Structure 1
């Protein structure tokens, strides 16, 4: 029964939303994009990060501020570059190390957000499967009621109303799947872009 419902779910969403994946072996990941559970800081920032805390409180605070700015996804890369260059102007010593510290904090922030999105996609997918099962069960009950010798048309009307409503909810939710599935990949690309930008600023 569970397998049948998942197959029905896959067929239904395949028509309504072409971005859904063809492989439904993982019901918590309904996306075409390959699922990458976690990102690697070392792949994005191959330069060795300094150990230990920053001793200068003013520098530590400025690094946190820069990291906070870098983590704001609505800001354009030009604005982020300007923030990094202004930081370097204020702290011209140990530029590479300090920008690495800022990126490490930015990575932690955005990677946490990315993990939250992936968990949200899992909850979304399982919720849609549960709603699909509910719709199938109501259809079956309605068909059975109609085939009865003396159909209970009041019950049929009630089921039909609930069925229509749940199908609207299901379809409306599917509208957001494209954005949800793209978000982890967009965060990953942005982190790579920030890393490249900061490394460029450090070399200037």
Structure 2
């Protein structure tokens, strides 16, 4: 079966591209990257995914390899000798290697769902903070427009406004990194699938 190309997969998953724009119709998704709520292992693994039970020793090695693949701090280069050792020990049956991939997929997709839920919560907090900033500005304007402004209250509101604006700005600065994380996980999953599929083709 022909291997899925990077271009096809990127289009299917909706990876971020230069010039992409945010979809502001969803207030819980503040990222430029298009929101893809769920991933499918079948889009990444270029062979039929079959359910099969393996012996306990093989299953233990599958769990170990998939667990390492799900550790994003472990580079793909560092994984290569472990994949080669696994294939040397257990062969390059596409069903077995697909089993490895689906386990790694489940772990990384779970991480991705948690991160996306955090982004959604983050966005709602930013929306609430923006509203509070606007409300504070309105209250300040009312005080300053009053015949006898309460300058102590204005000072307190101004201090609160400065603090809230600083928090809002700091959060926005970290948004780029946070939004990139789900995409990085998608790319890692694709790379893991390609690494394992290459062993089938050898």
What's the CA shift for 1:90? 1.4
What's the CA shift for 1:22? 4.9
Name 2:165's counterpart in structure 1.
Answer: 167
Name 1:35's counterpart in structure 2.
Answer: 35
What's the CA shift for 1:47? 1.2
> Distance between the aligned counterparts of 2:147 and 2:87, measured in 1?
83
Task: Mark the runs of 5 or more structure 1 residues left unpaired by the alignment.
Answer: 1-18
Number of aligned residue pairs: give it.
Answer: 184
Please give the TM-score of this superposition, normalised by the length of structure 2: 0.86
> Distance between the aligned counterparts of 1:20 and 1:78, measured in 2?
30
Instruction: Rate the CA distance shift 1:59–1:30 in 2: closer, same or farther, 3 A.
Output: same
Q: Which runs of 4+ in 1 moved over 4 A?
A: 19-22
- SS in structure 1 opposite 2:26? coil
Name 1:198's counterpart in structure 2.
Answer: 196
> Distance between the aligned counterparts of 1:20 and 1:100, measured in 2?
33
Per chain length, whose mean CA-contact separation is higher, i.e. which structure has more relative contact order (CA < 8 Å, sep 6+)? 1
Please give the TM-score of this superposition, normalised by the length of structure 1: 0.86
> Distance between the aligned counterparts of 2:165 and 2:20, measured in 1?
18
> Distance between the aligned counterparts of 2:171 and 2:21, measured in 1?
16
Q: 2:22·2:34 contact (CA, 8 Å) conserved in 1? A: no
Q: 1:22·1:32 contact (CA, 8 Å) conserved in 2? A: yes
**Residue 85 of structure 1 pairs with residue 84 of structure 2:** yes
Task: Mark the runs of 5 or more structure 2 residues left unpaired by the alignment.
Answer: 1-18
Task: Give the CA RMSD over aligned residues.
Answer: 1.6
> Distance between the aligned counterparts of 1:153 and 1:163, measured in 2?
15
> Distance between the aligned counterparts of 1:125 and 1:71, measured in 2?
26
What's the CA shift for 1:157? 0.7
